[in-house]
Amino acid sequence: MATADTSLPSNAAPAAKVPLMTLLVCCAVSVVFAVCGAAGTMVFLARSGRLGTVGASAVTATAKKYSESTTHAKALEPMLINLADEGGHAYLRVGVVLAQEDEPGPKTKEEAKPVAGADAAVRDTIFDVLGRQTSTVLLAPDGKEKLKGELMAAIGRQNPELRVKTIYFTDFLVQR
**Helix H segments across the chain?**
20-48, 58-67, 109-112, 118-131, 135-138, 143-158
165: nearest Cα among 95, 71, 78, 96: 71
Report pLDDT for 113.
54
Report pLDDT for 93.
94
Residue 94 has pLDDT above 90, yes or no: yes
Q: For residue range 17-58, what is the model confidence (pLDDT) as tens digits?
A: 778 888 889 999 999 999 999 888 888 887 777 766 554 444
Residue 156 has pLDDT above 60, yes or no: yes
Predicted confidence band of residue 150 (pLDDT cuts 50, 70, 90): very high
Facing residues of 82 across strands? Answer: 91
Calculate the CA 173 to chain-centre distance.
Answer: 28
Report pLDDT for 55.
46
- Residues found in the chain: 176
In this structure, the number of other CB atoms found within 10 A of the CB of residue 133 comes to: 20
Calculate the CA 61 to chain-centre distance.
Answer: 20
129 Cβ neighbours under 8 A, 6+ residues apart: 147, 150, 151, 154
Residue 13 has pLDDT above 70, yes or no: no
d(CA 125, CA 79): 12
Mutual angle of helices 143-158 and 118-131, in 10-degree steps: 140
